[in-house]
Amino acid sequence: MPPALPDHLPDFLPSPGAMLFNSFEYLLLFLPLTVSIYFVLNRRIGVLAGKLWLVTASLFFYGWWSLSYLWLICGSMLFNYLLGGGIAHWREQRGNRARLLLTIAIVGNLALLGYYKYADFFISNINLLRDTPSPLLNIALPLGISFFTIQQIAYLVDVYEGVVVEKSIIDYGLFVTFFPHLLAGPILHHKEMMPQFADKNSSIIDWENIYIGLFIIGIGLLKKVLLASSLSSASDAGFNSASSLAFHDAWITSLSYSMQIYFDFSGYTDMAIGAALLFNIHLPENFNSPFKAINLQDYWKRWHITLTRFITSYIYTPLVRYTAGSINFQKSMIATFFAMCVAGLWHGASWHYVLFGVMHGAGLVVSHTWHRLKFNTPNWLGWTVTFLFVNMALVIFRADNMVTASNVLKSMLGLNGFDIKNDLAMWISGLADPGTWDPFSDIGFYPARKILILLSAILIVFFAPNTLEICRSKYISSSKYAYLLTGSAIGIGLFYMLFMTSGIHTFIYFYF
């Protein structure tokens, strides 16, 4: 996987490419057919047939990318299902074999993830250290492997701790492959999804869930095609010209990427939650206006919430709980820093992802220490510092390499000049002579329409309610205009995809 995350599907993904949530084949064929057949089977044959259909449809959804990798996810599921059953059995016997099986299972999962995601990273670094020409494996990263691997690790730990156990292989397959969350989350616990499928009411069509689910899908689609995909060209242009950016160009570049990834991930999350709701399944909240956070702890409680939950439960907590000595603030901060370094590396096999994790780990340590010392910080100041820090860390996250990141950051700090006077001259002179003013003139090398899209995105992020807040409002849940709003959102999104874009753009988190 290349360090930079292109907005279009990269060349190393086999044809015909993943079935994207914002593609016509998904929205107009796969999703409506899957939902319709699921409820018909539930009614005519039984719940088991409906579940089997969902597993089959989800594997088809995954196999649309590459049939050759179906064996990978199926083998991973079978491996974890069998070892999960063994862990549950030996746990009841109160022996040490359950712990041994858990260790084997975790090592096996990490080995699979390590081979496909990190093998070339380690080989290239060994080559660099030893100055050897060992060839890279050039392995295509299987879609969703990071998500379905850590979800199954969490399941195995829950089995070991006696929280859950799954005896049905069909139910276990559904837990892992359920297509709304398969490729990019949310990262689920067995106990929060499978009891919903066991509820007999979930097998019956709920029309309120249908229209709310479609409304959420429509909002997510608009976020992706109108905002995220539009902002991608601006951020790409800036990062591709990092060495020549002026101060304002660098800020437009960084803010464009911050808003792009915000609406890309928020849009994906909406479409995942909306799709699951069509089946009467409520996925956990995964995104809650993170750019409104007033400190870094608050940010990670709002951004990729289920990943933060996993890191806290399965990395941070064991580090604190099982290391020698009593729990204290110093030990907690060391565990926090290490957990965020792991989180950075989880995002991709590159040192700039590690540095991204290091930055957030150090930032959290400083933030926790500041809070512990009980310094009073106004909310506006806390928000400003947090947003600026997150925005700069995302420059590291997005850059192809550290030279590119350094160039962008230097320009943002004004070290490469403040060449804004000439770019704004036409706008300023236009105030004195309105007859000559062109509000759509370019600023730097950015077309004004890109800047207007960026400003619109910023206003939406900071002043508009998020999707969950809209759906929780009484107006949406009870309004007679709900169907009109739903149809309008999806219709506008499809129209824009058909006539206003050059192609279907993938979601950034598909590459993790």
> Which of 304, 347, 352, 360 is an active site residue?
347
* Residues facing residue 443 across a β-bridge: 446
Q: Alpha helices, DSSP H only, in 30-144?
A: 31-44, 47-63, 70-92, 97-113, 119-130
Q: Which helix (H) or strand (E) holds 486?
A: helix 482-499
Token representation of residue 360: 């957030």
* All residues at 6 or more sequence positions from 25 whose CB lies less than 8 Å from its CB, including other chains: 19
d(CA 408, CA 416): 9
Peptide bond preceding 16 in cis form (omega within 30 of 0): yes
**Which 3 state secondary structure label does DSSP give 287?**
strand
The whole-angstrom separation of Cα 219 and Cα 21 is 12
Residue 375 CA to residue 367 CA, distance in Å, equals 10
Q: What distance in Å separates the CA atoms of residue 50 and residue 404, rounded to the nearest whole number?
A: 50
How far apart are alpha carbons 164 and 188 in whole angstroms? 13
Among 194, 125, 141, 187, smallest CA distance to 165 is for 194
Contacts of 496 (CB under 8 A, 6+ apart): 225, 226
Taking the mean position of all CA atoms in its chain, how far away is CA 12?
21
Q: Quick check: helix, strand or coil at residue 272?
A: helix
Residue 73: other Cβ atoms inside 10 A: 23
Three-class secondary structure of residue 245 per DSSP: coil
- Closest to 239 measured CA to CA, from 121, 411, 459: 411
Beta bridge partners, 279, equal: none
What is the three-class DSSP state of 503?
Answer: coil
282: annotated active-site residue: no
> For the chain, give me the number of helices (H) and strands (E)?
25, 0
Query: How many whole angstroms separate alpha carbon 66 and alpha carbon 60?
Result: 10
The number of angstroms, rounded, from the C-alpha of 104 to the middle of its chain's C-alpha atoms is: 28
Please tell me what DSSP assigns to residue 133.
-
In the chain the first and final C-alpha atoms are separated, in Å, by 9
Strand partners, 287: 303
* Residue recorded with tokens 């020549």: 244
Report, as residue numbers or ranges, the catalytic residues: 347
